[in-house]
Amino acid sequence: MRHKLVVIAIVSLLAGIFSLQANARAGCTESIPDLFKRVSPAVVFISAIRINPFKLKDRVETGIGTGFIISKDGLVLTNSHVVFGRQAIMVLMDNGQKAPAQMVGADPILDLAVLRIPVPSKGLPVLRLGDSKKIRIGEEVVAVGNPLGLEQTLTRGVVSGVNRILPDSPMSLSLPFIQTDAAINPGNSGGPLLNRCGEAIGINTAGFLGAQNIGFAVPSHIAKKVVPQLVKDGRIIRPWLGVSGKLIGEEFRSFLNFPLVDGYLVETVEPGSPAQKLEVRGGVLPIQIAGEEVLLGGDIITVANGLPIAKPKNFKKFIQSLKVGDMVRLTLHRAGKTRKIEFRLPERPILPGDLLAEGQSSISTYGKSTPLK
* pLDDT above 70 as % of the chain: 82
Least confident window among 2-6, 101-105, 261-265, 288-292 = 2-6
Residues marked active site are found at 81, 111, 189
Closest residue by Cα to residue 314 from 324, 322, 304, 328? 304
* Residue 123 dihedral angles phi and psi, to the nearest 5°: 85, -175
- For β-strands 337-344 and 43-51, DSSP reports them as unpaired
Domain ranges of the chain: 243-347
Contacts of 94 (CB under 8 A, 6+ apart): 40, 41, 42, 43, 44, 125, 152
The pTM of the full predicted model, rounded to 2 decimals, is 0.79
Average pLDDT value for residue range 104-111: 92
Concatenate the DSSP letters of all residues of 195-229 into one string.
Answer: -TTS-EEEEEEEE-TT-SS-EEEEEHHHHHHHHHH
Contacts of 8 (CB under 8 A, 6+ apart): none
Write down the CATH number for the domain with range 243-347.
Answer: 2.30.42.10
Closest residue by Cα to residue 364 from 106, 95, 156, 167? 167
d(CA 185, CA 56): 31
d(CA 368, CA 354): 17
Beta carbons within 10 angstroms of residue 340's beta carbon: 9
pLDDT for 159 equals 96
d(CA 135, CA 281): 42
Q: Look at residue 22 and tell me whether its pLDDT is greater than 70.
A: no
pLDDT for 336 equals 87
Average pLDDT value for residue range 96-111: 93
167-179 CB burial, b ≥16 within 10 A, e <16: bebbbbbebebbb
